[in-house]
Amino acid sequence: MTRHRSSAPSPKHRQQGLSLIEVLIAALILAIGLLGIAAMQAVTLKNSQSAFDRTQAVVLSYSMFDAMRANATSARANGYTLARTCTVPSAGSSLASRDQARWIQSLKDAMGPSACGTISACVSNVCSITVEWNDSRATDGDPNETLTTTSRI
């Protein structure tokens, strides 16, 4: 009895490993995915810095309001009124001028050299503080970002 052998390879020999093209395609897909992750990480870092700056603006505004409440008589008499300034004013002899100098210096330290501050005159014991900074590093960030906080003294 003679056996006829089939010309088709046996299942054992059909697939012996991945071809080079399959490996290259897998590496390409992996590289594109890793580049996407890196891009998302870069955007996240930029936006996290923007959120940090906004938080610092709020915290520093509240710290100035606290200083004004501690010296309420002067604050209600508009002793803390400060026109928009981007340079640290000299600390004068009054508590209000020292608080202003310390506040602007804190803005510069926390938010960079572009930070500016304004303290509006109080009307009926309601005062406003505006903080400005450069937020252009963030995604769609504004180079003239402002935050205004209003509070009763």
Into how many domains does the chain fold?
1
Residues 6+ apart with CB under 8 A from 19: none
62 belongs to a structural domain = yes
> pLDDT by residue (tens digit) across 46-56?
888 888 999 99
Tens of pLDDT, residue by residue over 54-83, are 999 999 999 999 999 999 999 999 999 999
Residue 89 lies in a domain: yes
Please tell me the predicted confidence (pLDDT) of residue 2: 60
Domain region containing 62: 50-152
Whether residue 10 is contained in a domain is answered as no
The pLDDT score that the predictor gives to residue 1 is: 57
Tens digit of each residue's pLDDT (9 = 90 or more) over 93-109: 899 999 999 999 999 99
* CA distance linking residue 106 with residue 43, whole number of Å: 27
Side-chain half-sphere CA neighbours of 37 within 13 A: 6
Question: How far does Cα 56 stand from its chain's mean position?
Answer: 10
The answer to whether position 20 is within a domain reads no
pLDDT mean over 6-24: 68
For residue 14, the model assigns a pLDDT of 61
% of the chain beyond a pLDDT of 70:
88
Whether 3 maps to a domain, the answer reads: no
Question: Does residue 25 lie within any of the structural domains?
Answer: no
| Mean per-residue pLDDT over the chain, rounded | 88
